[in-house]
Structure 1
Amino acid sequence: MQLHVLADELWFPDIEQALDDPDGLLAIGGDLSPQRLIYAYRHAIFPWFDERQPILWWSPGTRAILAPKEVHISKSMKKWLKKTPFKVSVNLAFAKVIDGCADRAQEGTWITDQMRSAYIMLHQQGHAHSIEVWDGEQLVGGLYGVNIGQFYCGESMFHRATNASKMAFIYLAHLFGQYGGQFIDAQMPTDHLQSLGVKSCSRAEFYNYLQQYRDQPLRSGCWEPRYL
């Protein structure tokens, strides 16, 4: 299939035109304006590229998804959660969470300065949100993503202490479900995510879910900055 090159127009090709590979590369170019990012997420598309590449847009053939009530907490994790001194917050340190995710040198530096600035702008406009895990005053884990109606499109997570990213994900699921969230988009399945209950679905199934819930609002108060 043809790889589409984007110009200034706010447009993406149909997601079924993504290249026939596991990652589903759909288009190249364009920009990371808030308008284009929101449009992309509303159509099951996300950006992913490194500092040596142009902007690349993806819609994988297999998507990772979780209904919040189906988050899996193992027996050992339940015991750990009861004993841990770690605290969890929402939207108290968005930029620091992005920096933590970008600092995973072993996984490459795909969160470029351009990406960082774009998602901080989305956060400032009320579209992007973070979950933070704290050991005292030290940030030891977290995640961030974009909220589209009753969908939360996860972007990245990190940990500097054992179980911190799992804790962030579990708290996200509980918080999002409590306020009417229907699905968490985890983009692509990994062993780590599957251990938390994330399941795989086809691109078409994912887009059907997204169309059903992207215009449905959450109950108010979900993303108010606070400790949980």
Structure 2
Amino acid sequence: MTLQKFKSGLLKLDDIILKGRLKAFYSHRIKYRGKAYVLTQDLYFPPHNTANKDIRMGPEGELLAVGGDWEPERIIFAYKNGVYPVVFKDQPILWWTAENHCVMYPKDIHIPKNMRALIRQNKFRLTIDKAFYDVVSACSETRQKYTWLTHEQVEAFHKLHALGFAHSVEVWQDEKLVGGLFGISFGSYFHGESMFARVSHTSKLAYIALSVRLAEMNFAIMDCGIWPTEHMKSLGAVVISRDEFLEILDRSKDVPDVIEDWDHLLDNWDLKQAVQNHFDGLTSQREGV
């Protein structure tokens, strides 16, 4: 029997009899041994430049550490240090860094013509933190095939929401939740975790509305993560170096929280007027006013 056939037979045996426990043991105990720092109970991450460049997530992600837990203290500590947790099926928590980051400066949000037309129609109602659990659930359903938003992560986000670190933007049509996003925020920093749309363009609408509102409050940065996408770039996101990102992150996390009462952030706020003010401001900048 060749080695390949032996491995194939062993995997089948594991699936049928051991219910994947052998694969899980390998992933948790052997696969990453010596390839990345193994977290302990201490809140610590190694320097970014020690990441394993040979183990990647997407075009930019580099594996920095393995293990740990989903406790709120560790997650917030990670984000405040520019580290992102991701978990895949039958694997330990993997913590990532990158030499480049995709970010949005809220004041630089680009609003395409089709979205301006949609905003003028005034067909949707927007809220913040009115249906956090429903938004996370919807994002989990749309991302299910990627298996990254696991039950443990969902529970962690619920805890972070209760502590005031995680927030959602909801888009409603006829009292039905049709789109939205959620993410983590502290100081003048917001990291978008995930978004969903049950009606075309509603996730983009949530993101634009949040960007414009945060720009009004002089938010420093919206972190789009280590996986730059054309979708985010089309809205004005840019790619910056890790050093530049960490410098902005340090300034953002060290200021007092810009927003204390998130769930009233969009009360009595007119998106259509805010978008008009946004473009008026851009015109004034170009004319040197």
Shorter-chain TM-score above 0.5: yes
> What amino acid does structure 1 have at the position aligned with 2:49?
E
Counterpart AA for 2:42: E
CA root-mean-square deviation: 1.7
Higher relative contact order (CA 8 A, sep 6+): 1
Displacement of 1:199 in angstroms is: 0.5
Which amino acid in the other structure matches residue 181 of structure 2? Answer: L
Aligned to 2:136: 98
CA shift at 1:14, angstroms? 1.1
Report the TM-score when normalising by structure 1: 0.94
Query: Displacement, 1:51?
Result: 3.2
User: After TM superposition, what 4+ stretches of structure 1 lie above 6 angstroms from structure 2?
Assistant: none
Aligned to 1:211: 250
**Larger relative helix fraction:** 2
| Structure of higher CA gyration radius | 2
Matches within 5 A, 1:3-152: 3-20=36-53, 21=56, 22-105=60-143, 107-152=145-190
- Which range moves more in the overlay, 103-112 or 147-156? 103-112
Q: Secondary structure at the match of 2:98?
A: coil
1:82-122 per-residue CA deviation (whole Å, 9 max, x = no partner) reads 11411111011111111111111575221111000001100
TM-score by length of 2: 0.75
Deviations 1:37-90 (A, max 9, x none): 110010001111123221111112221101101000012211111114111110
Aligned residue pairs, count: 228
Cα 1:220–1:155 shift into 2, 3 Å: closer
Over the matched positions of the two proteins, sequence identity in percent amounts to: 36
Residues 117-159 of structure 1: CA distance to partner in whole angstroms, max 9, x if unpaired?
0011000000111111111221111111111211101111111
* Separation of aligned partners in 1, 2:152 and 2:144: 20
- Residue 168 of structure 1 is aligned with which of 203, 206, 223? 206
Quote how far apart the aligned CAs of 1:222 are. 5.1
Q: Distance in 2 between matches of 1:207 and 1:50?
A: 26
